[in-house]
Structures are given as structure tokens and as C-alpha cells.
Structure 1
Amino acid sequence: MKAAGRILLVLGIKRFRGGPKVSATAAGSPVPLSLRDVLKISGFKRLWLAQLVSILGDFLAVFGVINLITFKWHGTPLQVTNVMIAFIIPMAIVGPLAGVFVDRWNVKRTMIISDLIRAALILGLVFVTRLEQIYVLFFLVSTVSSFFGPSQSVTLRTLVPVNGLMSANALMSQAFYTMRIIAPAAAGLLVYWLGYNSCFYLDSASFFFSAAMLSTIAIVRMVNAKDATEKTVGSLRKDYTAGSRFVLTHPAISFVMIAMMTAMFVLSCFSPLISVYVRDQLHAGTRAFGIISAMVGVGLILGTQVVNAVAKGFSKKYVALSGLFGLSFATFVLALFQTPWLAGVSMFGIGFAIAFIVVPAQTLMQQETPHDMLGRVTSSFMAVFSLSQLFGLLLSGGLANSIGVRHLFTSSAVLLVVLSGIGFLWLRDDKPAEEKAVAAAGS
């Protein structure tokens, strides 16, 4: 680490003296691209715009369904939760297998067909009359999305150079979290003005827009001809095993995957309990609940900006580890101090820290994974996301009833500290690629 520090110091002195601008990661490597630089890449800009509109449509549909079940059908909390579970389960189960096919298929065609199928399925929500129909439609939409997600990751990696991946992932995350904040209010206004079906029509239209944008992108990706033609169960199993083995035997990728799983579990576990925490621990009302809940999204959006600006010269795995430590600290503050303003700061910190986990984790995965395995590895990340969200939804209520919300938050903070310590020890002997390159050059 001292050697790396001296290298960074020398590079900094050269830049200060007017030497050539170089990356802080390794001498001779290209300078990291900014958010603006990445948006100048025509193909990525179209991909980003397509997803910006599509994500907004998705959230409009989700909140439209929640409004429908809650206020028109007078559904129970369990029924609302079941909708989310129906959406999460396919990504956890189908996702890993979907990645095997994505690594064999034309990703552009896969994304366009996925968008068109989802557009048709979402239109089905206009005609639903029973909860079971919503469950089935959400299950099917999620199944199709299991093929779209890995295809999008492969496309991003194909369109964006390695030194622009951090900015590209930050932009994708910002789009997701910004729409997550805007969508509830937008859905409420749409339902009030135009009725529930307006949310579903707009979501369907967003998928058509996405498909149209994707059709204009040129995606050049080499696919192993032998793998593409082999369609036996044995060959599929072999590909799946190879992808799983790569994840499990790559220390940095396996760690950031666990870190992402932890972050999503905390977010999914805390989100439905914040209202109870505000009521029972803070003795506050709906206004405080709205502000405190919104601070998570604000932290996520600002965190993606900051991590993109400050973390480009650092090892991605250690940036994710710092996010895990930050998540531990913010959770401790939330559990130990029962004041509304500190609760807001803590929720902001939770969102901010999660951004420091998710963005570098996605970037590391795209940088370190061979192109012919990227679909499988991405689908594994998606499955981890989904499982952690599912466990958070299923366990949070029961645990809170058993030990109380405050004790649940405290226990989560302790576990996060332990996991952070284990992560530090795990990664201590795993030298980053840039340090290995410097060591090899000096030998």
C-alpha cells in the first residue's frame, strides 16, 4: 500500500508540474471519463434515455397497482407485499439461467423483444379484475425482465470504454433513483386526474419508446459460435457452472456481490419499517415520515455523483468496502438516537453509503468479467439483488414484531460492522490489478 501511495504522489507531482494528465489508477492508463464525456457516446446516450423513460414507466405501473389495491380494492398490507414478491421471485429463480442464454444470443434483439413483450403484458393490467391476475402479470413481466437486465449490462460494456464504466453506471443508478423519487407523486397525480389505467398505458408506451431507441443503436459483440449453436442441456449446464465458478473464485467480485446483497437487504428491510419507527420511536407524524423516507433517495442520488467524482482513482472493491462501513455507521446512528433530524441524516447516510457500494460493484463486475461470461455474471448479480430484497420484505415484519424496530436496526448495524471487518480481512491479500502491474514492471 505504501508503494501505491508513492506512485500516486509521483503522478500528482507530475500533473502539478504540467506533465501529461494521467489516471490515478495506473501510469499510462486512460483518464476516467466524466458524466458529460460518457453522454457524448451516442449509443450509450440512447441506451440511457431509453432506460430513463422505461424506469419511470415501471415505477408508475407499480405505484398505480399499489394505489389500485390499497384505495379501490381496499387490500391488506400482505396483498400489497405479495405483488412485490411476485415480481421479485422470477429474477431470483429465472435470472441465473437467463444469463446463460444472453451470453449466446444477440443482445440487441433480446432487449427489443423483451420490451415489446413487456409492453403487451403491462397493457393486460388495464383489464384485471382480481388480485391473482396482477400476480400472474407481474410474475411474467419479471421473467421477461430477467433476460433484459443482463442484455443491457452487456450492451453498456460494449458501448462504453473501460475508463467510462464508473460514470456510465453512476448515470444509470441516478436515473433509477431519480425516477424512484418522482414516480410516487406522479402516479398519485395521474390516478387522481386520469384514473388508474393511465399509469399502465404510460408504462406500456415507455417500453415501446425503449424498443424504438434500442433499434437505433449499433451493438458489435463477438459471440462464441460453438457456444451459440450448442443447445443441449449439458452445454447449458456447463455454461452455468462456468459462470458460477468465476464469481465464487474471484475474491473481489464475490465480495462486492455480498456487499450489494447486504445493502439491498438493509434497504428492503428498513423501507417498510420506517413508518413504524417514526410513529413509535420518534413520536412524529406523516410529515416527518415523508421527509425522512425521501432522504434515502436524496442520499442515493448525491452518492452516485460523489462516488463517480472521488472514487475513480481508487480500487473499486475498497470503495465498496468503505460504503459498507458507512452503511454500518449510518444504521447505528438511526438505532441509537431518536430525534427526527438525526433520523433524516441517518437515512440520507444510508442512501449515500449504498451508492458507494452499488456503483463500484457494478463497475468492477463489468471490468473484471470476460465478455463471453458477462450475461451470466450480471444475472447472478440480479439474482442476489432479488433474493436480498425478498428476504428483507419477508423477514422485516416478523423480526420487528419479535425484537422491536429499534433492536432490529441495532442488530443490523452490528452485523454490518462484522461483515465490514470480514471484508477487510478477505480483501487484504487480494492485490488490485494496478498494484500487480506496478510490481511486475519493477521486477
Structure 2
Amino acid sequence: MELSKWKFRAYYLSAVGIANIGGWIYLLAINLMIFNTTGSALAVAVLYMIKPFAFMLMGFWSGSVIDRVSTKHLMIVLDVVRASLILFIPFLDSIWGIYAVVMIIQMAGAMFGPASFTYMTLLLPEDERKQFNAMLSFVHSGAFILGPALAGILFMLGSLEMALFVNTGTFLLSAGLIYLLPRQNRIDLSDSTNFTWGTIVQDWHLVWKFSKMAFPFVVVYMVFQVVMLLTAALDSTEVAFAKEVLHLTDAAYGSLVSVAGIGFLVGAFCTNLLVKFMSAKHLMCSGTILVSTGYVIYSFSMNYLMASSGFFILCFALALANTGFTTYIQENIPIDMMGRISSLYGMVIYSLQLLAVLIFGIAAHSFSVQAVVIGGSLFMLIISLFLIVSVNRLALP
């Protein structure tokens, strides 16, 4: 029984890792393909706006589907859909056709995330989730390093099209591993065939009712997510900061990204050790304050060494913060509503992220890049301190 349990977890972690590696290959290949086709940085920037739009479009209804179907089979279908669409991209000549296919791929990804999270929560006993989430962080960190490295090798040995074909294979392999997983036991699938617009509206009311009853949890959830969306907004200024403030060469900037990958990996390894001694909320709070500290160091840096130190600290701490947050929401969201709650909350967060990236982009164009990064990192630090106060004042578990 114990062997079977770890076999299934190995399948799940392998599927997530392979899909993440494929995701990095896809991201880099599609960015280069768009730039080579158009020669426009703006055309590439549009790609980064598609993802939050896709999550906004899916968020208001996808959770209603996730909570009413077998998440295992849903994940398989979504992986196959993404593999098929990526295979189709190299044969497209129109930039708008590529955008349309990317939008559908991102919409599938917007449903896959909450479905995968719900399945994982159902698969794991409550007392084993924190350790498993730490292992999951390690897998994500490994993919962060291996994905771009494999993409670079594929670009050198073949072409962008070949890289996308390999990417298709990674999603199909992920689907095959998910097929080997057990079908989880849902709490109630009796209403799975009654999916209508009225059902969606009813689900909104249920999520709203839960949010009012669990208001302290919602506060912590949203405050943490504000910190994370600020990281996304600051990341959008990363290249400009490296070039205009630090005056880094392309090679030096590449090594800075490598430092981030090492930080992720070391942080994930340490998280696997710390989960035995720290609660989910302590992992979340300590990780968040360290992420903000890393960004503050990075924002005030005037040379490579200081910037890389900040990068290492913030990426190291992301593993702590994400492991704590993932476990925390598993402890506080009812499993039978997890798809609906995470999808609707995600829609709100991605809407705010899109707005934040836009504001930071305009500010970086109007003022100095370093001033914007300093202001954003200090604001993140204030929000992180508010998170710690909220967790303590609201007496959360």
C-alpha cells in the first residue's frame, strides 16, 4: 500500500515536472517566433497580456466544471488539447492566427491549474500535504533550470519548430502519466450533468457566501496574492532595469537569470527540510517577507553582485512562500468547492495583475526605471508586513 501511494505521487510529480519543462520550451520558442516574424517588441509584449486575459475569461465558469467532473480525465483532455494546438502553430503564417491559438492554449492552462490543484488535494491526506507541496516546489525549481537549458539546446541543434514539436511530446507524456493515476473520490458528483448558466450563477453565490463566512482567510489570501502580482509587475521591468540601470551585457543578464534558478533550487531543497518544523502560515509569512527583502536589495543595487544577491534571496524565499500558501489554502478551502473558489479568486487576481503590469509599464516609461522598481519593492515590503499582522491579528490557524 505504501509503495503504491508513493508510486502515484511520483507519477503526479513527474507529470507536473515534464509539463513545466515543456511550458518553458513553449514560452521561449513562441517568444522568439513572434519576434522573428514581426521584429516588434510590442508584438512579444502582447503574448504576456494574453495569459491574464485567458484566466479572466475562464475564471468565472471553469471552476463550476472542475468541481463536477473527474479532474483526472479533465487534466488528460487539457494536456492533449494543448499538445495538439502547439503542434499546429508552426504551420500558421498569420500573427493573429498564432495569437488566437496561444489564447486557446492559455485558456486550457487556466483550467488545468485549478483542476490539478483540486486533484492533488483529494489525492493527499491532510497531514502529508505540506511535505508534498515542498517536493512540488522542488520540481518547479528543477523545471525552471532544465526548461530554458533544454530549449537552448534545441534551438542550437534544430529550429524553433522542432522545439515546439518536442513541446508537444512533453504534454502528451504528461497526459500519459496522469492516465496512470487513480481516479480520485469526489465528495459529490450527483449534479455533474446539471451544468447550466443558472448553475454558474448559483456557484458565484456559494463562493460569495463562503467568502463572507471565511473573511479572515480571504484577507490573507488576497494580501498574499497582491505580493505575488507585484512580483509579476516588477518582473516586467527586469530587462530594462538590467540594461539601463545595471548596464549588463546579454551574457551577464543571462547569468543573473541563472542565479535566480539556483536560488529557486536551493530554496526548494531547504523548504523540504523546514516543513518538518514550521507551520504553513509561518512558511508563508517568512517567505513573503524575504521575497520583499530580496526585491528591495535588487531595486537599490548599482552593480551585478548586489543585484544577484537580491535575486538569489527573493527566488530562494519564493519556495518557502509558495509551499506555505499552497498548504494554507488546502487547509481552509472546502475540497468540494476548491475549483470554483480558486478559479473565481484567480480571475480577480489576474485582473489586478494585468492592471499592475500596465501601471508599472507606464510608470517606467514616464519616470526612471530604478525609481519605479524601488517604489514597487518598498510597497511590496509594506504589504508583506501587513500580511504578517493580518495572520497574527486574525488568529488564523
Q: Give the alignment's TM-score, normalised by structure 1.
A: 0.82
Alignment counterpart, residue 324 of structure 2, candidates 352, 357, 360: 360
Q: Alpha carbon RMSD of aligned pairs, Å?
A: 2.5
Q: Which moved more, 1:225-234 or 1:150-159?
A: 225-234
Report how far residue 46 of structure 1 moved.
0.7
Question: Which structure 2 residues correspond to residues 317-356 of structure 1 after superposition, within 5 A?
Answer: 317-356=281-320
Residue in structure 2 matched with residue 416 of structure 1 by the alignment: 380
Q: Which moved more, 1:130-139 or 1:389-398?
A: 389-398
The alignment status of 1:315 with 2:299, answered yes or no, reads no
Q: In structure 1, how many angstroms separate the alpha carbons of the residues matched to 2:265 and 2:352?
A: 21
User: 1:127–1:85: structure 2 CA closer, same or farther, 3 Å change rule?
Assistant: same
Residue in structure 1 matched with residue 185 of structure 2 by the alignment: 221
Alignment counterpart, residue 134 of structure 2, candidates 170, 181, 184: 170
User: 1:340–1:257: structure 2 CA closer, same or farther, 3 Å change rule?
Assistant: same
Q: In structure 2, how many angstroms separate the alpha carbons of the residues matched to 1:314 and 1:357?
A: 12
Size of the aligned set, in residue pairs, is 396
Residue in structure 1 matched with residue 26 of structure 2 by the alignment: 61
More RCO (CA 8 Å, sep 6+):
2
Deviations 1:241-260 (A, max 9, x none): 32244346435542443344
Structure 2 portions without partners, runs of 5+: none
1:165 partner amino acid:
R
Deviations 1:38-87 (A, max 9, x none): 996222211111121122112212211112222x3242111111122223
Question: Which structure 2 residues correspond to residues 10-409 of structure 1 after superposition, within 5 A?
Answer: 41-70=6-35, 72-247=36-211, 249-251=213-215, 253-380=217-344, 382-383=346-347, 386-387=350-351, 389-409=353-373
- SS of the residue 2:21 aligns to: helix
1:331 partner amino acid:
Y
* Identity level (%): 21
Q: In structure 1, how many angstroms separate the alpha carbons of the residues matched to 2:395 and 2:180?
A: 41
Report how far residue 303 of structure 1 moved.
1.9
- On the 8 A contact 2:130/2:280 being kept in 1, the answer is no
- SS of the residue 2:323 aligns to: helix
Report how far residue 141 of structure 1 moved.
1.0
1:169 partner amino acid:
N
Q: Which runs of 4+ in 1 moved over 4 A?
A: 37-40
Q: In structure 1, how many angstroms separate the alpha carbons of the residues matched to 2:341 and 2:323?
A: 16
User: 1:38–1:170: structure 2 CA closer, same or farther, 3 Å change rule?
Assistant: farther
Q: Give the alignment's TM-score, normalised by structure 2.
A: 0.91
Structure 1 or 2, whichever has the larger Rg, is: 1
- On the 8 A contact 2:300/2:374 being kept in 1, the answer is yes
Structure 1 portions without partners, runs of 5+: 1-36, 434-443
Q: Which moved more, 1:90-99 or 1:100-109?
A: 90-99
Q: Which moved more, 1:252-261 or 1:316-325?
A: 252-261
1:292 partner amino acid:
L
- SS of the residue 2:44 aligns to: helix
1:359 partner amino acid:
T
User: 1:397–1:383: structure 2 CA closer, same or farther, 3 Å change rule?
Assistant: same
Q: In structure 2, how many angstroms separate the alpha carbons of the residues matched to 1:404 and 1:397?
A: 11
Q: In structure 2, how many angstroms separate the alpha carbons of the residues matched to 1:298 and 1:389?
A: 26
